[in-house]
Structure 1
């Protein structure tokens, strides 16, 4: 594979400080909305569970004791409400066994309370025995319900912790991706400027009449390019403007050896696109395809979208010297591939093919972020 041009621009604007102190753009941790419900109060789901247990237990006890269902329901419901309030109020206790102990102790106390409120004193022995059995039954059912609730709470806590860790890991991965993009763009930016200035120096040294116009076009190009060096929201349209300006500049330097065309479907112009990625491929084609060839050649830049799959294809083809068997791969294509995958995901591809009879065709394929 032939050597390639290594150029680009600094990738910035992805890290901005937000008022809460977090880095904006890539990281913006969600803020928890304050709940209007007091933490010591039961949730609607807990009320519903207690209601279902109370109804079922009341139906069984009413059938066994031949007592009125409503009377039994009121007594069981009173005990169930006290046990539920005890469970939720003890939620601030760090030890789970303390919450279980609080519910177990509340069961006989709640039974005693309902006995004193509803039965005459002294009461019949059979009635007293019935309330003792009710206290034991309340303790058993309260213990089982508390154990189940504690287990569910632990699972919910573990699930919330796991989700929070996944969000943090995702945030770190995005920050690493942003840092990687900035590093790659900082790596290729100086080469673009140095190589362009070297072209101007060569014209001046040879006394070419094109040195003045080329220098003026370079100044115009830099005026157009420099404001975009820190643009984090670059689009394919802005990239194509830079590509056309660069090719016009190179055409003035070698008007008889370079021809070009830029034809990209208009509906693609508004797509977000990593800045100067396409320009890197175009400059690589000029530097290593057209320049070394005595006959020169033609560069074609194109792009279209597949209506069925939604994937976009962009290509840069040249009819220049082609790939040399002894050439060593540089960092230009590797940087473009890495930036493209960081921008559009691992499904983005960069493919390089040798043209017949000579030349190189580089194609980028990806799914736009809005359709991913």
Structure 2
């Protein structure tokens, strides 16, 4: 493993801080002596010990988990660094002041100096050891969180696709015999939907445009199945086309609106999906707000309400949904965007349900893709 200049510099700065603290403590115990003496000795011994120990890690070989040599080599390197660092640092300081510590210093002072060096060496080495281990664990946790998010996406796909696919194929079977043109139209949307699904399953994020494209294909399929009982509006401002969004974030919400809102209602209803940017509070980054609303039967008044997510505004009803899709959306938001992200459900002003998603607005790099959705699309 090669030396990391940033980590090495950070270790050097931290060692200098430790040396200054040690010299200040020594001066407090012996204020009759000039501060320059403990300062020079502390810096000389500390820097020599740091150089030998820190550079020795790269010579002996480090454990990727802790950034320290494995087994007995770690303590042996620390002991060697303390002995040689103390000896070299003391000789340098003696040369600076023009005296000999071993001949002119009292035996008690010499013994105290050795004890201070040993204690400081053990404490500082332990600090760096634990720091390296902690940083490694944090990196592994980030990797594990990323893998867990991908696993959640795969699991979500396995839950969403069969239910929708079987219903679509059953409708296709009926339409082929009675309305071939309508069946062809439905099959075209199914192919586009499956193609988008395959693309989404290979990415951890994509543009909001791609997410809306997928919703359009899904809603077009549902529109063929439900007929005039389903209408929808997708509103995506041009400035938000390349806003970053995790794949499959919105489809569970739209599917919930259809399954629990519109299908139980005889006359069906309308679904609206709208994206907009909001200014962040107190200079914070701008927020992306996505609203999924329907005019269905609305929320059950007797449903138990779980605790609200952080940063939930007072007018919002705590999330009443405990289904698989809503749980996955909530967990993915928390994993990817932290406590600043929020998901909430509330009663619609004229009935139905409104779902609000908010998280920090992030843009994807521009790519020369062809957009096939209009900024605002209405279907009745």
TM-score, normalisation: structure 1: 0.62
Q: 2:268 is matched with which residue: 277, 289, 296? A: 296
Query: SS where residue 169 of structure 2 aligns?
Result: helix
1:283 correspondence with 2:283: no
Give the match for residue 204 of structure 1.
173
Q: 2:358 is matched with which residue: 336, 342, 365? A: 365
Partners in 2 of 1:346 and 1:276 — Cα distance? Answer: 20
Give the 3 Å change call, closer, same or farther, for CA 326–146 of structure 1 in structure 2: same
Per-residue Cα deviation, 1:66-107 (whole angstroms, up to 9, x for no partner): xxxxxxxxxx9xxx8xx969x759977764898399849x98
Give the match for residue 196 of structure 2.
224
1:337 Cα deviation from its structure 2 partner: 0.5
1:191 Cα deviation from its structure 2 partner: 3.1
Q: Give unmatched runs, 5+ long, in structure 1.
A: 1-19, 21-29, 37-42, 54-59, 62-75, 116-130
| Match runs of 1:224-303 below 5 Å | 224-303=196-275
Contact 2:52–2:85 (CA under 8 A) maintained in structure 1: no
Give the match for residue 215 of structure 1.
187
Q: Which moved more, 1:89-98 or 1:341-350?
A: 89-98
Give the 3 Å change call, closer, same or farther, for CA 97–295 of structure 1 in structure 2: closer
Contact 2:345–2:354 (CA under 8 A) maintained in structure 1: yes
Q: Aligned residues, how many?
A: 295
Partners in 2 of 1:367 and 1:260 — Cα distance? Answer: 26
| Match runs of 1:1-372 below 5 Å | 32=4, 95=79, 99=83, 103=87, 135-137=103-105, 144-197=112-165, 198-205=167-174, 208-209=178-179, 210-309=182-281, 310-324=286-300, 329-368=322-361
Q: Which has the higher contact order (CA 8 A, sep 6+)?
A: 1
Partners in 1 of 2:324 and 2:149 — Cα distance? Answer: 14
CA RMSD of aligned residues (A): 4.8
1:267 Cα deviation from its structure 2 partner: 2.8
1:146 Cα deviation from its structure 2 partner: 4.7
Per-residue Cα deviation, 1:168-206 (whole angstroms, up to 9, x for no partner): 232232233223323322222123322222133035337
1:298 Cα deviation from its structure 2 partner: 1.0
Partners in 2 of 1:316 and 1:145 — Cα distance? Answer: 70
Contact 1:90–1:102 (CA under 8 A) maintained in structure 2: no
Partners in 2 of 1:336 and 1:101 — Cα distance? Answer: 56
Q: Give unmatched runs, 5+ long, in structure 2.
A: 9-14, 21-25, 27-32, 54-75, 304-320, 364-380
Query: SS where residue 244 of structure 2 aligns?
Result: coil
Contact 2:271–2:293 (CA under 8 A) maintained in structure 1: yes
Partners in 2 of 1:170 and 1:362 — Cα distance? Answer: 33
Per-residue Cα deviation, 1:123-145 (whole angstroms, up to 9, x for no partner): xxxxxxxx9x9922286666555
1:363 Cα deviation from its structure 2 partner: 0.9
Partners in 2 of 1:365 and 1:294 — Cα distance? Answer: 32
Give the 3 Å change call, closer, same or farther, for CA 254–35 of structure 1 in structure 2: closer
Partners in 2 of 1:357 and 1:34 — Cα distance? Answer: 58
Give the match for residue 23 of structure 2.
none
Partners in 2 of 1:276 and 1:228 — Cα distance? Answer: 7
Partners in 1 of 2:147 and 2:137 — Cα distance? Answer: 15
Query: SS where residue 224 of structure 1 aligns?
Result: helix
Per-residue Cα deviation, 1:1-49 (whole angstroms, up to 9, x for no partner): xxxxxxxxxxxxxxxxxxx9xxxxxxxxx9635999xxxxxx999999x
Contact 2:168–2:221 (CA under 8 A) maintained in structure 1: no
TM-score, normalisation: structure 2: 0.61
Partners in 1 of 2:162 and 2:131 — Cα distance? Answer: 48
Query: SS where residue 361 of structure 1 aligns?
Result: strand
